[in-house]
């Protein structure tokens, strides 16, 4: 959900600088993922309150996800090619804020969709250069710096839920605007990003890259109903915004715990079995949500599965992405993964709107389970034959 463990195993390479706590970087992560904590659970409720039906809501969230396909490549390429110029991050953060403010004057599907694609593109583009620089200069402290992003996500999810119960979904807009403003102001305090040598034009792509990206694509398709409609789904079955926020926060807390323990898992198990386990548990998670929507205990257990279906899945995926692309072009390796995930999220969001209308909310999550099962087959049947090529 928040990507808290990306690249956490890197080692700092800049001596004393890598061992110092970096307040501005931690603040950047806090504001970035706090905005995500307002957007993921509550933006669909805001769109629903503005009168968009299930199909339009799914399409709008798909447009939001589409920017994830291009933005990681833009930010990652600039990070690798031009040496992490901070001006790129600052301009992108400012444009994200200014474009988001247009939502108050946007009316209709096309206008709202254009605003969502515009601000999210520049917002997403701020992260890859910061990630690459943080890994390069603070690798030994990366986890503790990045952890503030997950803390911010949890704080906003838990705090905004009760506020929405009192003030209504419209409050989401000023909250996100303030967080994006904080993100831009934080970039003004960040030091120049550490330069790196540009990667070679020809990247070393391994044979397993295609099935790996295909599995990641399908996994994010299965997440489409969750990211697009989970809050609407819970509200449909009578849960208040406070409860919705608690369930979202529970998933992120479990995600943080699994990232903390990931090195031990990597020391004991190979990547592919861990990857397959994450896909299998995704099938169980979506089926539990589909079949027991009124059971609070079942929903709580299903949210704890987020530790595996996102946390462990993501931690393994970033390792495999780097392995399949090779050592050069680290940022672009993650961009391949990010683009596959973005494409899957876009397709999943669009399909979920049509599935809600066609087969109902429970049928939508059953379909998600079937897609996750197909992804599991790809991992089990294809990746074993190509994993030997991965260094």
- Shared domain check, 148 and 236: no
Do 181 and 40 lie in one domain? The reply is yes
What local confidence, expressed as pLDDT, does residue 23 receive? 84
pLDDT value of residue 83: 52
Sign of CA pseudo-dihedral 36, 77, 70, 317: negative
Q: Are residues 382 and 344 in the same domain?
A: yes
The pLDDT of residue 148 is: 87
363: in domain = yes
State whether residue 235 is helix, strand or coil: helix
Q: Are 55 and 354 in contact (CB under 8 A)?
A: yes
Which of 150, 168, 195 represents a domain boundary (last residue)? 195
Query: Which of 152, 175, 195 finishes a domain?
Result: 195
| Banded pLDDT at 8 (limits 50, 70, 90) | very low
Give the whole-angstrom CA distance, residue 333 versus residue 291: 38
CB 214 within 8 A of CB 320: no
Predicted confidence band at 67 (pLDDT cuts at 50, 70, 90)? confident
Residues 6+ apart with CB under 8 A from 197: none
Report the pLDDT value the prediction gives residue 382, as an integer from 0 to 100. 82
Residues 37 and 97 both lie in one domain: yes
The answer to whether the beta carbons of residues 216 and 333 sit under 8 Å apart is no
pLDDT of residue 193: 63
The pLDDT, as a whole number, for residue 370 is 98
In a domain? residue 15: no
User: For residues 143 and 22, is the Cβ–Cβ distance under 8 A?
Assistant: no
Are 174 and 277 contained in the same domain? no
Q: What would the mean pLDDT of 130-145 be, rounded to a whole number?
A: 69
| Domain-embedded: residue 14 | no
Q: Which of 195, 226, 260 is the last residue of a domain?
A: 195
- What pLDDT digit, counting tens, does each position of 167-197 carry? 899 999 999 999 999 999 999 988 776 555 5
d(CA 156, CA 163): 10
- DSSP, collapsed to helix, strand or coil, labels residue 342 as helix
Quote the Cα angle for 339-342-348, to 5°.
Answer: 145
In a domain, 7, yes or no: no
Q: Is residue 16 in a domain?
A: no
The residue-averaged pLDDT of 233-256 equals: 93
pLDDT of the residue at 278: 96
Mean pLDDT of 242-269: 88
Say whether both 142 and 282 belong to one domain.
Answer: no
| Three-state SS at 360 | helix
Total of domains in the chain: 2
Q: In this structure, are 96 and 148 located in the same domain?
A: yes
pLDDT band at 20 (very low <50, low <70, confident <90, very high): very low
pLDDT score, position 386 = 44
**Does 158 share its domain with 211?**
no
Do 223 and 78 lie in a common domain?
no
Provide mean pLDDT across the span 298-318. 92
Instruction: Give the CATH number of the domain where residue 128 resides.
Output: 1.20.1250.20
Model confidence, pTM: 0.82
In a domain, 10, yes or no: no
Q: Tell me whether residue 8 is in a domain.
A: no
Q: Domain check: are 116 and 261 in the same one? A: no
Whole domain around residue 70: which residue ranges?
24-195
Q: What is the average pLDDT score of the chain?
A: 83
- For the segment 20-41, the average pLDDT, to the nearest whole number, is 87
Do 356 and 278 share a structural domain? yes
In a domain? residue 87? yes
Residues 166 and 228 in one domain: no
Angle in degrees, 0-180, between the axes of helices 209-236 and 313-325, rounded to the nearest 10: 150
């Amino acid at each position: 959900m928040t990507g808290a463990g990306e690249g956490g195993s890197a080692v700092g390479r800049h001596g004393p600088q890598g061992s110092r706590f970096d307040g501005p970087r931690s603040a950047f992560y806090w504001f970035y993922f706090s905005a995500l904590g307002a957007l993921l659970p509550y933006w669909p409720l805001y769109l629903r309150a503005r009168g968009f039906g299930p199909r339009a809501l799914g399409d709008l969230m798909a447009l939001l996800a589409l920017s994830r396909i291009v933005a990681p490549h833009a930010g990652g390429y600039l990070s690798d090619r031009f040496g992490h110029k901070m001006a790129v991050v600052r301009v992108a953060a400012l444009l994200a804020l200014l474009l988001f403010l247009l939502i108050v004057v946007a009316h209709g599907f096309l206008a709202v969709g254009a605003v969502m694609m515009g601000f999210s593109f520049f917002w997403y583009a701020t992260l890859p250069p910061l990630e690459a620089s943080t890994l390069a200069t603070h690798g030994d402290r990366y986890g503790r710096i990045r952890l503030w992003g997950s803390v911010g996500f949890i704080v906003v999810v838990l705090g905004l839920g009760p506020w929405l119960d009192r003030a209504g979904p419209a409050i989401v807009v000023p909250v996100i605007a303030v967080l994006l403003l904080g993100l831009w102001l934080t970039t003004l305090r960040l030091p120049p990003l550490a330069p790196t040598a540009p990667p070679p034009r020809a990247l070393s792509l391994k044979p397993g890259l295609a099935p790996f990206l295909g599995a990641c694509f399908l996994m994010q398709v299965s997440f489409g109903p969750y990211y697009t409609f989970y809050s609407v789904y819970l509200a449909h079955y009578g849960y208040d915004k406070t409860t919705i926020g608690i369930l979202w926060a529970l998933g992120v807390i479990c995600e943080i715990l699994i990232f903390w323990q990931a090195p031990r898992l990597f020391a004991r198990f190979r990547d592919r079995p861990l990857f397959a386990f994450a896909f299998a548990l995704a099938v169980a998670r979506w089926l539990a949500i589909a079949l027991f929507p009124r059971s609070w205990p079942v929903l709580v257990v299903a949210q704890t599965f987020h530790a595996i279906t996102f946390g462990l899945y993501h931690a393994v995926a970033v390792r495999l992405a780097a392995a399949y692309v090779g050592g050069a072009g680290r940022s672009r390796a993650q961009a391949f993964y990010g683009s596959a995930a973005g494409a899957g999220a876009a397709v999943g969001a669009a399909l979920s709107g049509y599935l809600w209308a066609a087969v109902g909310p429970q049928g939508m999550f059953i379909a998600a389970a079937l897609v996750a099962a197909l992804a599991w087959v790809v991992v089990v049947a294809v990746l074993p034959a190509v994993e030997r090529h991965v260094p």
